[in-house]
Structure 1
Amino acid sequence: MKTAIVNLSKVITGDLDQPVIAADGVLCVEGKIAEIGTLSAAAVADCDVVIDADGAMVMPGLIDSHVHITFGDYTPRQKTVGFLESYLHGGVTSAISASEVHVPGRPRDPEGVKALAVAAQRCFATYRPGGMRVYAGNLILEPGLTPQDLADVRALGVWMVKAGFGDFATPYEYAPLVHEARKLGMISMVHTGGSSIPGSSGIWADHLLAMQPDVSYHVNGGPVAIPDADFPRLVNESGMALQVCTAGNLRTTLLVAKLLADAGQMERLLIATDTPTGSGIMPLGLLYTISHLVALGGMEPEVAIAAATGSNARVYGLDSGVLAPGRAADLVVIDACAGGSQDDAMCALRNGDIPAVGAVLTAGIPRFVGRSRNTPATTRTVRVAQNRILQDYSGQAH
């Protein structure tokens, strides 16, 4: 399939090295970005679908690196069906499992947690709710797991491990398994902050520095934050990515961002939601956290967007998250909300507003064009200008 987006005002790339490109078109061919710039008339005419952005902007699809999936597009925590598809209408094109910890009656023995991770990985290998990519199968580290157990699930396609919900006497006991997982090339994530569910324990800087994971999960609190004195230690004494979540502490979100900016290490900042949890379903969670960092923290909008796109992609090894030729064609057209006080998406974020989502594409396929079910309408008229596919992409039925 060939899809083009034309009449763009600018391209937000998700790449911190070049976060904005002055380009007015993006061409997608067979699920990949083929060209960014001014597209030739012949290339546009050859497309199956052409989206006229009418002067709006495009950014990479948002990557939520902390989503509590279970099985299918259902969350037992909130008893909600279709939440992942709804997140897609908030511009989220990829969701990464924070472990399948909310599966009712989840197993805690080594064989059970291994089976749970493999089953989740298999279930979402080809299932794309609403077109979203879901990376599932995050092994919950429990007592009794051995290095061989990690190697076994790694061979079966599981590439993530999660520390923080296991029945260990102290968080320090996670360290050997986290170190082993990293040797196997698995991405390791550790709950950070106070206890979030009954039976779990608080994890602070001393524990994290002993484990040295790839990602400190919801470092701003999930939902309870670590002491303020711990944040400079994580910034200065480690190289781990520091993930801030919408369902955490806003004050410490801004603190983490400032510390990383002062250290010149913004590539370590990741934005996620940590939902669905007790905080609820948050389809616009990433957009709200981006707006908070920009309007309250003084961050440039394109830098905050990169923390929710390209930086997540780099840490987790994903092909999406950056708009560049050869990368996955997951894109979101954004604009200022109709009726607001601002004229474009970047100004809206500086004003503390969320942008309107005018279209979402995953693998180069439009999932809807014109109106998100979860944001106000765009100021500009984003529309399908050419369509050779027998499908209406308007999303009006939502």
Structure 2
Amino acid sequence: MRCAITNLGGLATGDLAGPLREAEAILMEAGRISRIGPLDAATLESCDVVVDAGGTLAAPGLIDSHVHITFGDYTPRQRTVGFLESYLHGGVTTAITASEVHVPGRPKDPAGVKALALAAAACFRDYRPGGMRVHAGSVILEPGLTPADLQELAAAGIWLAKAGFGAFPTPFDYAPLMLAAREAGMITTMHTGGSSIPGSSGIWAEHVLASRPHVSFHVNGGPVAMPEPGFARLVAGSDIALQICTAGNLRTALLTARLLAEAGQLARLLIATDTPTGSGIMPLGMLYTISHLASLGGMAPEIAIAAATGNNARVYRLNSGVLAEGRDADVILLDACAGGACETPLAALRNGDIPAVGAVFSAGVPRFVGRSRNTPATMRNVRVVACRLPMDFSGAAH
């Protein structure tokens, strides 16, 4: 598909090095962004779909790097069908599994652990709920797994490994397998904070530093935070990415962001939701955390957007998350909500409001245009002005 977005009010790029950019239009072809800037009449005539952004702000599709998927678009924890498609209406175009730990009767023997990761990854290989890309299949590290097992999984396409729910005597015992997972080329992640399911234990800064994961999961608590001195230890004593989640401790989320900003290391800040868990389904969770950082933490909203997009993409080695030519064509259009106190989406975020989502594109395909079913309406009119396909992208049914 060839699709163009015109009449933009600017871009929040997702790139910390240049988080805001002026641009009139975006051209998307074969799932990638092919051009940012003015588009001539001939180019627009050649497009399958043209969307008039009405002066709204383009941003990369949000990347939720902590989603507890199982199989398909269903969560047994909340007994809900369709939650991933609903998250897409909150601007999330990519979800990354935090491990399939909530599968009922989850196996814990080495053969079962490997099978679970492989099956979950296969489930979402070609399945995109609502158009969302889901990276599934994170091997849960359990006693009995060997470095050879991890090499075998990596060769089969598993690139995520999770520490935190295994039956190890202490959290320090994860370190050898975490090192083996890194050596196999996997992105390693580690539960951080108090115990979140029966049988697991709290994991604090000293445990994380011993294992050196790529990502400290929900460092602000999932949902309970670790002792406060640990935050400064992780910032000063490592280069580990620190993920803050909506379903966690808000005070320590703001503390983490402040410590990283003071250290000049905001590239290590990741935003996610850690849902669906006991905290429930949060289709707007990413937007809420962005608004918390901007309104309560004093962070520029375009920087907070980058923490939810480009920062996640860099740590997880994704081609999405940044609005630039050659990157994946995952784009959302944001505006201030109709009837609100602010005139622009960035001002709304500074005010503590969520923005309205006026359209979502993933892999260069419009998933809806005009109205999200989960946010208020946009102030400006986002609409399809040309469609040469037998499809309706208007979102009128939402």
Normalised by the shorter chain, which TM-score bucket?
A: over 0.9
Instruction: Determine if the alignment matches structure 1 residue 248 to structure 2 residue 248.
Output: yes
**Is structure 2 residue 98 aligned with structure 1 residue 98?**
yes
| Partner Cα distance (1:233, 1:187) in 2 | 22
Q: What is the aligned partner in structure 2 of residue 261 from structure 1?
A: 261
Check the 8 A contact 1:331/1:361 in 2, yes or no.
yes
Q: Distance in 2 between matches of 1:105 and 1:277?
A: 16
Say whether residues 1:238 and 2:238 are aligned partners: yes
Spell out the pairing of 1:182-201 with structure 2 (5 A cutoff): 182-201=182-201
Q: Secondary structure at the match of 1:176?
A: helix
Q: Kindly indicate whether residue 134 of structure 2 is the aligned counterpart of residue 134 of structure 1.
A: yes
Structure 2: how far apart are the matches of 1:3 and 1:20?
A: 22
Give me the whole-angstrom Cα distance separating, in 2, the residues matched to 1:122 and 1:248.
Answer: 30
Residue identity opposite 2:255 in structure 1: L
CA distance in 1, matches of 2:341, 2:382: 19
> Is the contact made by 1:11 and 1:24 (CA closer than 8 Å) also made in structure 2?
no
Q: Does 1:221 align with 2:217?
A: no
Structure 2: gaps (5+ residues): none
Describe the SS at the equivalent of 2:332: strand
CA drift of 1:42 comes to 1.6
Does residue 172 (structure 1) correspond to residue 163 (structure 2)? The answer is no
Deviations 1:15-64 (A, max 9, x none): 11111111111000111001111212221121110100111010000000
Deviation, 1:395, is: 2.1
User: Tell me, what secondary structure is at the counterpart of 2:173?
Assistant: helix
User: What does the per-residue CA deviation read over 1:110-148, in whole Å, with 9 as the maximum and x for residues that have no partner?
Assistant: 000000000001110110000000000000000000000
Question: Which residue does 1:76 correspond to in 2?
Answer: 76
1:313 aligns with 2:350: no
**Aligned partners of 1:142, 1:397: CA distance in 2, in Å?**
46
Greater mean alpha carbon deviation, residues 386-395 or residues 269-278: 386-395
Structure 1 counterpart of 2:43, which letter? A
| Amino acid in structure 2 at the alignment position of 1:184 | A
Partner of 1:148: 148
Instruction: Report the Cα distance in structure 2 between the residues aligned to 1:3 and 1:11, rounded to whole angstroms.
Output: 17
* Secondary structure at 2:69 match in 1: coil
C-alpha separation in 1, matches of 2:318 and 2:59: 16
Measured in 1, the distance between the counterparts of 2:178 and 2:326 equals 33
Query: SS of the counterpart of 1:174?
Result: helix
SS in 2 for 1:78: coil
Equivalent residue number for residue 301 of structure 2:
301
Cα distance in 2, alignment partners of residues 185 and 110 from structure 1: 19
Residues 143 and 167 in structure 1, CA contact (< 8 A), matched pair in contact too = yes
SS in 1 for 2:353: coil
State the alpha-carbon separation in 1 of the partners of residues 181 and 273 from structure 2.
24
Q: Which amino acid aligns with 1:306?
A: A
Q: Which runs of 5+ in 1 are unaligned?
A: none
Q: How big is the shift at 1:397?
A: 2.3
Output one character per residue of 1:287-338: Cα deviation in whole Å (capped at 9) or x when no partner. Answer: 0000000000000011000000000000000111011000000000000000
- Give 2:47's aligned residue: 47
CA distance in 2, matches of 1:396, 1:222: 37
Secondary structure of 1:396's counterpart equals coil
- Once superposed, which parts of structure 1, at least 4 consecutive aligned residues long, lie more than 6 Å away? none
Report deviation, 1:394. 1.9
Secondary structure at the counterpart of residue 190 of structure 2: strand
The answer on whether the counterparts of 1:62 and 1:308 sit within 8 Å (CA) in structure 2 is yes
Question: Which residue does 2:16 correspond to in 1?
Answer: 16
- Contact 1:7/1:55 (8 A) holds in 2: yes
**Residues 221-262 of structure 1: per-residue CA shift (max 9 Å, x gap):** 000001111101000000000000000000000000000000
- Residue 159 of structure 1 is matched in structure 2 by 159
CA distance in 2, matches of 1:114, 1:320: 28
SS at match of 2:85: helix
Per-residue deviation at 1:282?
0.2
Distance in 2 between the 1:113 and 1:313 partners? 26
In structure 2, how many angstroms separate the alpha carbons of the residues matched to 1:320 and 1:350? 25
Normalization by structure 2: what TM-score? 0.99
Q: Distance in 1 between matches of 2:341 and 2:264?
A: 33
Q: Is the 8 A contact 1:215 1:241 kept in 2?
A: yes
Q: Take 2:6 and 2:394, find their aligned partners in 1: how far apart are those partners?
A: 17
Q: CA–CA distance in 2 between the matches of 1:206 and 1:363?
A: 40
Amino acid in structure 1 at the alignment position of 2:272: A
Give CA deviations for 1:168-200 in whole Å, capped at 9, x if unaligned.
000000000001111111000000000000000
Matching residue's letter, 1:152: E
Cα deviation 1:91-125 (Å, max 9, x = unaligned): 00000000000000010000000000000011101
Distance 1:301 1:89 in 2: 20
Q: Does 1:355 align with 2:355?
A: yes
Matched with 2:121 is 121
Contact 1:194 1:225 in 2 (8 A): yes
Task: Report the counterpart of residue 32 of structure 2 in structure 1.
Answer: 32
Cα distance in 2 for residues equivalent to 1:397 and 1:166: 45
Q: What's the CA shift for 1:396?
A: 2.5
Taking the aligned partners of 2:379 and 2:389, their CA distance within structure 1 comes to: 27
Aligned to 1:203: 203
Local SS of the residue matching 1:223: coil
Q: Structure 1, residues 61-111: CA drift from partner, whole Å, max 9, x if none?
A: 000000000000000011100000000000000000000000000100000
